[in-house]
Homo-oligomer: A and B are copies of this chain.
Amino acid sequence: MADDKKLTTRAADFSAWYNEVVLRAELADYSPVRGCMVIRPNGYGIWERMQRTLDDMFKATGHQNAYFPLLIPQSYLAKEAEHVEGFAPEVAVVTHGGGKKLDEPLIIRPTSETIIYSMFAKWVQSYRDLPLLINQWANVVRWEMRTRLFLRTLEFLWQEGHTAHTTHDEAEEEARRMLGVYSDFMEGHMAMPVITGLKSNSERFAGALRTYSCEAMMQDNKALQAGTSHNLGQNFAKAFDLKFQAEHGGIEHAWNTSWGVSTRLIGGLVMTHADDNGLRTPPLLAPIELVIVPIYKTDDERAQMLEAADRVVEMLHDWERREPGRLRVHVDTRDGMKPGAKYYEWELRGVPLRMELGPRDLAKNEAVLVRRDTREKRPVSLNAIGEEVNELLMRIQDDMLIAARERREANSVRHTISYGDFKELMEGKGGFVYAGWCGGAECEAQIKEETKATIRVLPDEEFRSAEAPANCLKCGRPSTAEAVWARAY
């Protein structure tokens, strides 16, 4: 099954390493359609856990799921001026259906603001119908020229939240709340620390008033935009005539937000946690949390070890009755394959914890647990195996976040840096640079052209430096906002 050639190392070629991990951990595969990938069970299992967790979080904040059409009349895109400018160049167009040319071409949704707000306009009459808090799990298509597995594909899976409110402030609060949900999910479940903040105007979503973003640092020190949340103001409400009878009389346009994360997160997870031996999955998102590998030489020993493995699984399930449905465990019963080959394969696939179960361990009523994150090995008594396994999984989850956070901080520059040094850094090892910005679009554009670095966010207060930078990184004029600069995916 797994080809046992060593992976390219991160140090040798990060990009080649990334593709190899995705392919060989069987997260995804190339498809016969340019830029479209197949998400294989090992990758889809991670996505299912992401979906389930986020969906619960969306419902806990009052949202309901719905489903809107894949195909959108081309004319709809044009109703919001900035929106069409942003998305028209990358749409896929359906011109024929049922053997006939269509009167009006349809586009495959690149995002669903237009179709959704046209429906909201039909459903909302009065302030009593607001807020309207809807989420959709869907596929979208954007005609990208350069694609990368998970990170940038023609088609991707995502969720898009769309809400309507009576006031600007309520919409703003919603946009910020969902940014917080994303950031909690990324840190709490993906063990991927993020910086949140406001995008500069040049990086704002096409049609939004303000865009907020979660930015994570990958192991090559580049930034990944992991999720965005937009305060759309009244732009789409005006374009689609989304109005309501206000509580104290008069007709007003509603205020909208939209927010989304996608299968790109799986790419982020790989580039945050995988190592030169393959994937490392945070336990909370792992399709398999614990794999048990029986060790034996003879048929008799095999029978004994498989029986012991079954008993261990039973003990684990007994223990977890206190916390039901928690533990996802798999016994690798394949015969004719050496334990070492199995270890290699499960490490490649990123299972967080491995149990080695052999006759000598069993004689001592023990098993050996091996952490995937640190590769630390230790014998544990089978008497308390439930507690041991669960505690260890929780510790792995925590330690992965701590390690990722330390790596990010070690590669962030918060001291004053000259533009020359900044340029050198961006061409070299990269990282996040916290620096002053005059607020001018020209400085931003020049820096991007000269260094390929962009403003990832104007960070939220908790991420800002203790002492605000005094001058613009580029022009030296007084800074109006601290900005986080980095090269990005």
Q: Which residues of A contact B (CB under 8 A)?
A: 1, 29, 31-33, 36-41, 44-45, 47-48, 64-73, 76, 88-99, 105-106, 108, 115, 118-119, 122-123, 128-129, 134, 138-139, 141, 143-145, 154-155, 157, 324
Contacts and interface: CB of A to CB of B under 8 A. Distances in A.
| Residue from the set A70, A95, A157 with the largest chain B CB neighbour count within 10 Å | A70
Nearest to A129: B1
A79 B326 CA distance: 45
25 contacts: A1-B129, A29-B122, A32-B76, A32-B115, A33-B73, A33-B106, A33-B115, A44-B64, A47-B67, A67-B157, A70-B70, A70-B141, A71-B92, A71-B155, A89-B98, A89-B99, A91-B97, A93-B94, A94-B94, A95-B95, A98-B143, A98-B144, A98-B145, A138-B139, A324-B324
Which 4 interchain pairs have the tightest Cβ spacing?
A: A98-B143, A41-B64, A36-B69, A39-B67
| Residue from the set A36, A72, A73 with the largest chain B CB neighbour count within 10 Å | A36
A118 B32 contact: yes
A33 B69 contact: yes
A214 to B, nearest CB: 24
A73 B32 contact: yes
Contacts of A72: 33
Contacts of A65: 41, 44-45, 48
Contacts of A70: 36, 70, 108, 139, 141, 155
A71 B122 contact: no
B41 A119 contact: no
A52 to B, nearest CB: 10
| Residue from the set A67, A89, A105 with the largest chain B CB neighbour count within 10 Å | A67
B41 A66 contact: yes
B89 A93 contact: no
Nearest to A106: B33
Nearest to A336: B128
Contacts of A94: 92-95, 108
A39 B88 CA distance: 26
A67 B44 contact: yes
Contacts of A45: 64-65
Copies, count: 2
A47 B66 CA distance: 10
A161 to B, nearest CB: 13
A141 B141 CA distance: 15
A31 B115 contact: yes
A72 B37 CA distance: 12
Contacts of A89: 98-99
A263 to B, nearest CB: 8
Contacts of A39: 66-67
Contacts of A155: 69-71
Nearest to A102: B92
Contacts of A48: 65
A138 B157 CA distance: 10
Given A45-B64, A76-B32, A143-B98, A119 B71 contact: no
Contacts of A324: 324
Contacts of A76: 32
Contact of A33 (B71, B91, B123): B71
Contacts of A29: 119, 122-123
Contacts of A66: 38-41, 44
A29 B141 CA distance: 24
Contacts of A138: 139
Given A1-B128, A71-B92, A324-B324, 11 more contacts: A33-B73, A36-B70, A38-B66, A38-B67, A71-B141, A89-B99, A92-B96, A93-B96, A96-B105, A97-B143, A98-B144
Contacts of A71: 33, 36, 92, 141, 154-155
Contacts of A141: 70-71
Nearest to A134: B41
A219 to B, nearest CB: 26
A396 to B, nearest CB: 24
B67 A119 contact: no
Given A90-B98, A94-B93, A94-B94, A37 B69 contact: yes
B106 A97 contact: no
A38 B97 contact: no
Contacts of A92: 71, 94, 96-98, 106
